[in-house]
Amino acid sequence: MIYFIKILKKEFLIYSRKSSSFISPVVFFLISISLYPIGISNDPDILKNLAPGLIWITVLLSTLISFQNIFSEDYEDGSIELLLASGQNLSMIVLIKIFVNWIFSCLPIIVLSIFSIFLLYLPQEGLKPLIISLLIGTPTICLFGALAGALSLGKNSITGPALMLPLSLPVLILGTQAINYSLNGINFASNILLLTAILIFLLPIILFASVGALKLHFN
Amino acid sequence: MLKTANLSYKFDDKYIFSNLSFEIANDSVFKLVGDNGSGKSTLLKILSGIYKNYEGELSCLEVDSVFYSGHKTGLKNNLSVRENIYFDIRLPKISYSQINSVLKKLDLIDYSDIQSAYLSEGQKRKINIASFMLSNANLYLLDEPFNNLDSKTTDLVREIFDTKVDSGAKIIFSSHERFNDDFPLIDMNLFN
C-alpha cells in the first residue's frame, strides 16, 4: 500500500509542475465554448438546443490533448521498464495514473462547464445533468484514453485519438441525451445509471487491456 | 541462486543470443561483456522480468527483490534530484536525511533541489547510483552503470559493489570494457 501511495504522490507532484497538462485542455475548452456563439449563431434558442452536444463534444476533444502523454513520457524516460521490473501490480499503477490525469485534465473542465449557462444559454435545469453526466462519463473517457495511449506508444499522434473517439461515442450519446431529457422534463436517471454501469463494467477490463498493451511493447 | 539453462531470445526471427547457461551464487558479482547488439541489455531485461518471451529456463532462488537500472534513467525532468530519489519506485521508504548522506558522497548535495532536467548525463547517472546505494535488494541488474561517470564515482561504485556483495547480494552488470577489473565475465559474444 505504501508503494501505491508513493506513486500517487509522485504523479500528483509531476502533474502539478507540468502546467501544460491542465492548462491546455482548459484553454482549449474555454476558447471552443467562446467561439460557438460567434461561429454558429448568437440566437439563444439555437444555442440552447445545441448546447448539450457542443459541451460534450468539446469536453471529449479537450481530454484528447492530455491523453496523448499519459504513458509516452514514462515510455521515453524508462519509467515503464522500472515498473515492469518492480513486479508490482501494474493495473493499480495504471489506475493511479488515470485517476491523477482525470483530476488534472477533466475536473477543471467540469467546473468550467458551468460557464456554458452564460455562453451557450444552457437553461439552469440542464446544469445538474451536465455536471453529473460529466462526473460519471469523463472517467470512462479517461479509461479509453489510457487504453489508446498504451496501444499507440511509439506510434504517430493520430493513432491514439483514432482509437479513443469511436469508443467514446456511447458515453457522448448518453451524456448529451441526459441533458436533453432534463431540458424536456424527462427523468434522466436511466442515462446516469447506464453511464455508471459502463464505467463499472469497463474499469477492470480496460485496466487489464492497458497493462497488456504496455507489456506488449516489451515483448 | 540465479540459474539459466539454454536461455535464448529472438527478435524478428533472429536469435539475439542462444543456449546461454550459467549459475550465479549469492555474494557474487558478474560482468556481462560483448559487442554492441550481443544481447547484454536484453539478458538483463529478461533477468529483471521486463522481457518474458524467452526460450529456455530461468530460475531465481532466494531472490526477494530486484533492482534494475537500464540505459534510460527513469528520472522525471520536473522533479528535483532529491524528489527523484525519494519517489524512486525501486526503493523502500527512505528519509531525506538518508538521501542527503548519499548525495554528499556523490558530490550531488549542492544540486539536490535542482530539477533533473538541468543536469548533465553523468549527474543523471549519479542519481541512479544514489538509488543503487540506498536499495536493499538482493539482486542488482545494472546496464552499463559506469557510463558517463567520473573516475572518483567509478571507484565509489566498485566499493559499493563490495559492500552489497558482503551483505549477500548478487550483482550482474554489463560493460564494454573487458580488462579493467577482475570480475568474472559472461561473454555474450560466445552465445550469438
Q: pLDDT tens for residues A96-110?
A: 999 999 999 999 999
- Assess whether pLDDT exceeds 80 at residue B26: no
Alpha-carbon separation of residue B71 from A163, B54, B74, B138, B173 (angstroms): 31, 21, 9, 21, 12
B53/A86 Cβ within 8 A: no
pLDDT at A204: 96
Average confidence (pLDDT) over A175-198: 95
In chain A, the residue whose alpha carbon lies closest to the alpha carbon of B10 is A219
pLDDT above 70 coverage of chain A, percent: 99
Question: Average of pLDDT values for A115-144?
Answer: 92
Percent of chain A with pLDDT over 90: 64
Which chain B residues touch A100 with a CB distance below 8 Å?
A: none
pLDDT of the residue at B28: 86
Query: What is the mean predicted confidence (pLDDT) over A175-186?
Result: 94
CB contact under 8 A, A82 and B74: yes
Residue labelled with grid coordinates 436511466:
A190
Q: Mean pLDDT, to the nearest integer, of A77-82? A: 92
Nearest-CA neighbor of A129 among A119, A144, A117? A117
DSSP string, B95-143: -HHHHHHHHHHTT-GGGTTSBGGGS-HHHHHHHHHHHHHH---SEEEES
The span from the CA of B41 to the CA of B36, in Å, is 10
Q: What would the pLDDT profile of B91-119 be if each residue is shown by its tens digit? A: 988 999 999 999 999 999 999 999 999 99
CB pairs under 8 A between A and B: 68
For B39, residues 6+ apart whose C-beta sits below 8 A from its C-beta are B9, B16, B17, B188, B191, B192
pLDDT in tens, B124-182: 999 999 999 999 998 999 999 888 888 899 999 989 999 998 888 899 999 887 767 77
Q: What's residue B184's pLDDT? A: 81
Q: Where are the beta strands (DSSP E) in chain B?
A: 2-11, 14-24, 28-33, 55-60, 66-69, 139-142, 170-174, 185-187
- Given a contact cutoff of 8 angstroms between Cβ atoms, the answer to whether B97 and B173 are in contact is no
Partner B contacted by A124 (CB < 8 A): no
DSSP B159: H
Q: Helix, strand, coil % (nearest 5) of chain B?
A: 35, 25, 40
State how far the Cα of A99 lies from the Cα of A155, in Å rounded to an integer.
24
Interatomic CA distance for residues A180 and A174, integer angstroms:
10
Q: Is the pLDDT of residue A65 over 90?
A: no
> Angle CA(A93)–CA(A201)–CA(A198) in degrees, nearest 5?
110
pLDDT at B78: 92
- Structure ipTM: 0.89
**Mean of pLDDT over chain B:** 89
Q: Which residue has the cell 526503493?
A: B91
pLDDT surpassing 90 at residue A86: no
User: What is the predicted pLDDT for the residue at B53?
Assistant: 86
d(CA B77, CA B69): 17
A 154-213: CB under 8 A from B: none
B36-53 average pLDDT score: 90
Answer yes or no: are the C-beta atoms of B80 and A17 closer than 8 Å.
no
- Name every chain B residue with its beta carbon within 8 A of the beta carbon of A2: 93
Q: Inform me whether the C-beta atom of residue B117 falls under 8 Å from chain A C-beta atoms.
A: no
A34: contact with B, CB 8 A cutoff? no
- A155: confidence class by pLDDT, cuts 50, 70, 90: confident
Phi and psi at A167, nearest 5°, equal -65, -30
Residue type at position A122? L
How far A8 CA lies from chain B's nearest CA (Å)?
10
> By C-alpha distance, which of A122, A123, A138 is closest to A175?
A138
* pLDDT, position A154: 77
* pLDDT value, residue A1: 78
Q: How far is B152 from chain A (nearest CA, A)?
A: 26
Interface mutation vs chain B, best among A10, A74, A100, most B CBs within 10 Å: A10
CA distance A2 to chain B (A): 8
Angle of helix A189-216 relative to helix A127-151, nearest 10 degrees, comes to 20
Q: Which residue has the cell 457522448?
A: A172
Whole-number pLDDT of residue A200: 97
What does the pLDDT read at residue A160?
78
Is the Cα dihedral B77, B79, B81, B84 positive or negative?
Answer: negative
Q: Which chain A residue lies closest to B69 (C-alpha atoms)?
A: A82
Instruction: Tell me the pLDDT band of A130, cut-offs 50, 70 and 90.
Output: very high
> Which one of A75, A77, A81 would you mutate to disrupt binding with B, by most B Cβ within 10 Å of its Cβ?
A81
Mean pLDDT across chain A, nearest whole number? 90
Q: A9: distance to nearest CA of chain B, Å?
A: 8
